[in-house]
Amino acid sequence: MSSLGPDPVPMTQTVREPRVDLSAQIPWKDDFSSILGFGPMPFTKIIATHQLVDEANRAPVPRRDGLTYVEQLLRSKVEGRAQAQLDRRVSGQIEREMRHVKSRHARINSLTRELEELSTHPVKGAHGEALQYAEAVETHDALVDRIRRETELGSKRHLARRGKKGIEVIALVIDFPVFLLAMLALFNVNVRLIAAGDLGSIVLGVTALLFALLGTILYALTMRQLGRRHRVYKSDEGYLDPPPRAKHRVVLEIWAMVLITAAIAVVMSVRIITDGVEAEAPMALVIAIALLFSGLIAVSGYLNWNAEFSDGSDETDRLEHLADELRARERRRTKLLEQRTSAIEDAGVRLAALDRMIARAGQDAEDQVVRSSCDRAIRLARSYHGLIGDADLMPPPRLDRSRLELAARQSIALTTHEQHFEVAYAGRRRDRAELDRAELDRAELE
C-alpha cells in the first residue's frame, strides 16, 4: 500500500456569538404623552432622559452602585438646592430653637441658685436676730409646744383676741368726736359760718379737724403701745404682774396713762360745762353729761390698752413672727419650685421639638432629592435601557450633614444636661439638710 503521508489537520470552524443590539430606545408614545404633560417623563426632563439613555448606549458597563457622569450632573443641581435648604434650616429654625432651649436652661440654673441661696439665707427672729432655717423651725416648734402645754395646764396668758377688727376700729375712732368738739371750742370755730361758706371759718374748721384727728390717733397709739409693753408681764391668770425690777417703770407708765386720760377728760368736761352754762341748761344735767363723756374717754383708752394687753403674750408674738417669716419663705420657695418645674417642662418640650426639627430637616432634604424630577428621570431612563444600575436601588443623595450632625450632638448634650438638673439639685438639698442637722447637733453639744 502506498503511503498517503501524514493525516490532514482538521479545519476548526469559528463560531460567532450573536450580536446583541445595545441601542435602547424610548418609545415615541412616551415622548408624545410626556410632551403633552401626561408622563411618564417629567415635562422639564424629557431631553435629560434621552441624554441618559444615549449615555447608557455609548457605555453599557453594568454598575450596581454610584451614578454615571450625566446622572451625577443631573442630580447635582437638586442636591445643591437641597443642601442650601438644609443649611438654612440649621442656621435658622434649628439654631433658634437651640437658643431657646439654652435660655430655658439658663433660667433653670438661675432658679436653682435662688433656691440654694434661699436654703442658706437666715431667718429673721422676733428680736432681729439671724436664725438658720433649721434653728428657726426648731424654735417655732418649741414655742408651739410650750404654749400648748401651758394652755392645757390652765394658763390664760397666751389666749389671743382674734377676729374682732370691728371693735378695735371703734375703739380707735370713738374719741374723735370728743377731740373734734374740744378743738372747735379751742379755735372758736363757728359752724354756722362754715355752712355759709366763710373762708376764715372753713380754714379754722379744717385746722380743728386735723388736730382732732391727730389727737385721736396719738391717744390710741399711746394706749396700745403701753398695752403691748405691759403684755410681757402678764401672769398665767391674765393679769398684769410685773417683776420687782420692772414694777417701778410699769407703775410710772400706768400713772402716765391715767394723767393723759384725766387731762383729756378735763378738757372735754370744761367744754361741755362752758357750753351748758352759755345755753343756760340745768347744771345737774351739764355735770352729768360732762361726767358721761369723761367716762367714755376713759373707757376708750382702756379698750385700746386692753386690746393689746389681752392679745396673747410675748411667746405668741415671737411665734407669730416666726410663723410669718417661715410662711413667707415657704411661699417664696414654692413659687421658685413652680417656676423651675415649668422651665424644665418647657425646656423638655422644646428639646423634643428640636429633635423632631433635626430629624425632619435631614429627611426633607433627602426627600427633596429623591422625589425630584431629576431622580424620576434617572430612574425612568434606567428602566428604559436596563444597562446601568438599578432603577429601584438608587444611591442616597450626597449631602453635607456635618452641621446637622453637630446640632444633633448638641441636642443630645442639652438633653443629658437637663436630666442632671433634678439629680444634682436633689443631691445638693440632701447635703444641705445633713449640714443643718450637723450644726444643730453641734449646738446642742455646746
Q: What is the pLDDT averaged over residues 359-364? A: 86
121-144: pLDDT as tens digits: 888 887 788 888 888 888 888 888
pLDDT at 445: 40
67-109: pLDDT as tens digits: 777 777 888 888 888 888 888 888 888 888 888 888 888 888 8
pLDDT at 8 exceeding the cut of 70: no
Angstrom distance (rounded) from CA 293 to CA 275: 14
Angstrom distance (rounded) from CA 316 to CA 133: 19
pTM beyond 0.75? no
- Looking at residue 396, what DSSP letter applies? P
Higher pLDDT, 255 or 16: 255
Percent of the chain with pLDDT over 70: 82
318-358: pLDDT as tens digits: 888 888 888 998 899 889 888 888 888 888 888 888 888 88
Q: What is the pLDDT averaged over residues 271-293? A: 82
Read off the amino acid at residue 137.
V
Helix (H) or strand (E) holding 263: helix 244-278
Range of 59-73, 98-112, 269-283, 377-391 with top mean pLDDT? 98-112
pLDDT at 63: 55
- In the chain, DSSP finds a helix count (H) and a strand count (E) of 14, 2
Angstrom distance (rounded) from CA 61 to CA 224: 109
Task: Give the contacts of 297 (CB within 8 A, at least 6 positions apart).
Answer: 175, 178, 261, 264, 265, 268
pLDDT at 10: 47
pLDDT at 12: 43
C-alpha cell at 248: 417701778
pLDDT band of residue 168 (cuts 50, 70, 90) is low
* Segment among 7-16, 353-362, 384-393 with least mean pLDDT: 7-16
C-alpha cell at 238: 391674765
Q: E strands along 25-103, which residues? A: none
Residue 336 CA from chain centroid, whole number? 6
Question: Cα 236–242–246 angle (5° rounding)?
Answer: 155
- Asked if 347 contacts 105 with a C-beta cutoff of 8 angstroms, the reply is yes
pLDDT at 299: 84
Contacts 24+ apart (CB under 8 A), 16-20: none
391-400: pLDDT as tens digits: 566 777 888 7
pLDDT at 172: 63
pLDDT at 11: 43
Helix (H) or strand (E) holding 317: helix 314-370
Q: What is the pLDDT averaged over residues 157-180? A: 69
